[in-house]
């Protein structure tokens, strides 16, 4: 299949909907096809189709299914790639090379970490600015660098993202850095973590330990495992 092409499968309960309610031959495959075409013309998206088909079949059946009613949609699309750079390289002499390589990669890019964002800003020659009116009282504020899809604080954001990744996205705080990062991770098929080898001594501070904030080198393997369990390809690259 080509990009955006798909296959839609239905059980008998869909095409035979309405058999006992005035539909002599049921809804039928042609009726289902016409309904799909009308929905697409009206601007409905492919992911919305299965639920809308089931609801229409239920309506035709006078709100009572007499047979199994299942709709399955498979759609081909290009894989989504996300690159996450977090933490300075172990050797500062590698800063320029790492950032240039990171910026050359195809896909979305996120930078997690104040020091990391300063390094990226310096190499790409774009200023870094901080969110002036954060919408969240819990998540750290976001940063901005032209050409980067998302820039956030480091360890706290990564820990919070790990904690809520499997929660209902509808319950995420709107526009917080943690919510934005979780949405990028959820939508990506391939995720590459560029993990700086430089150790942040602040991560061993008692205040971090008391709040249960795991250092970058500890939380990222846990986050990667959770993402792999969701069927994603995840690569951790030490810098």
- 46-55 pLDDT, tens digit per residue, is 889 999 999 9
Q: Give mean pLDDT, residues 186-201.
A: 90
Q: How confident is the model at residue 206 (pLDDT cuts 50, 70, 90)?
A: low
- Calculate what percentage of the chain has a pLDDT beyond 70: 95
Examine the domain organization and report whether 61 and 159 are in the same domain.
no
Spatial contact of 52 and 44, defined as CB atoms under 8 Å apart: yes
Per-residue pLDDT of 70-126, as tens digits, reads 999 998 888 999 999 999 999 999 999 999 999 999 999 999 999 999 999 999 999
Last residue of a domain, one of 75, 101, 119: 75
Task: Assess if residue 1 is contained within a domain.
Answer: no
Structural domain tally of the chain? 2
Q: Which domain holds residue 62?
A: 6-75
> In whole angstroms, what is the distance from residue 131 CA to residue 141 CA?
6
Examine the domain organization and report whether 25 and 117 are in the same domain.
no
Q: Looking at the chain, how many residues does it have? A: 239
Return the residue matching tokens 């240039």: 100
Spatial contact of 112 and 85, defined as CB atoms under 8 Å apart: yes
3-state secondary structure of 186: helix
Examine the domain organization and report whether 127 and 196 are in the same domain.
yes
> In whole angstroms, what is the distance from residue 14 CA to residue 70 CA?
7
Per-residue pLDDT of 141-189, as tens digits, reads 999 999 999 999 999 999 999 999 999 988 998 889 999 999 999 999 9
The mean pLDDT value of the chain amounts to 91
Examine the domain organization and report whether 92 and 120 are in the same domain.
yes
């Amino acid at each position: 299949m080509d990009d955006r092409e798909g296959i839609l499968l239905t059980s008998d309960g869909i095409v035979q909907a309405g058999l006992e309610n005035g539909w002599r031959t049921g809804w039928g495959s042609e009726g289902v096809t016409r309904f799909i075409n009308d929905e697409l013309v009206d601007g409905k998206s492919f992911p919305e189709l299965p639920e809308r088909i089931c609801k229409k079949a239920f309506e035709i059946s006078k709100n009572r299914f007499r047979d199994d009613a299942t709709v399955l949609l498979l759609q081909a699309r290009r894989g989504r790639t996300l690159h996450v750079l977090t933490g300075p390289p172990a050797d500062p002499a590698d800063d320029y090379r790492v950032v240039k390589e990171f910026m050359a990669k195809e896909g979305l890019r996120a930078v997690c970490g104040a020091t990391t964002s300063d390094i990226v800003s310096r190499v790409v020659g774009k200023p870094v600015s901080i969110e002036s009116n954060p919408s969240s009282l819990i998540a750290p504020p976001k940063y901005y660098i032209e050409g980067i899809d998302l820039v956030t604080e480091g360890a706290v954001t990564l820990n919070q993202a790990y904690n809520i990744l499997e929660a209902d996205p509808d319950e995420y705080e709107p526009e917080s850095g943690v919510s934005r990062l979780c949405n990028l991770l959820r939508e990506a098929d391939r995720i590459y973590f560029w993990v700086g080898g430089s150790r942040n001594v602040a991560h061993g501070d008692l205040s971090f330990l008391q709040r249960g904030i795991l250092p970058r080198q500890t939380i990222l393997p846990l986050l990667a495992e959770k993402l792999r369990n969701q069927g994603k390809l995840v690569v951790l690259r030490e810098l």
